[in-house]
Amino acid sequence: MKTFNLSWGDRPIQLETEGTRTFLRLGAALRVEVTDASLAQLDQLAQVAADLADVRRDRIRAAQVADEVAAEDGYRFVGVPYQRDRAAA
């Protein structure tokens, strides 16, 4: 099995159909055929998506708590964006 990483940010996630085939479109770069997916697979996909949303919500809450604690202590952090493993232009 091959593994690859894909980041699509806030690009659309939608269903596409071509004739009798159905695809799940993730952003502009990835399309997964789901024509023959079983109900169990589709339910599992929905559960994984719900779990990912929960993880993201937890990260947002944790960051907000850290910001609130810092504000109560009189600190303010201003982050500077950077790129990992590449030279910034």
**Chain segment 27-86, per-residue pLDDT in tens:** 888 889 999 999 999 999 999 989 989 998 988 888 887 777 777 766 665 555 555 665
Structural domain total, the chain? 1
User: Which residue did the predictor score with more confidence, 25 or 9?
Assistant: 25
Q: Does the residue 82 lie in any domain?
A: no
Question: Does residue 86 fall inside a structural domain?
Answer: no
Task: State if pTM tops 0.85.
Answer: no
Residues 16, 8, 12: CA angle, nearest 5 degrees: 35
Q: Domain of residue 20: give its range.
A: 13-72
Q: What is the pLDDT of residue 59?
A: 87
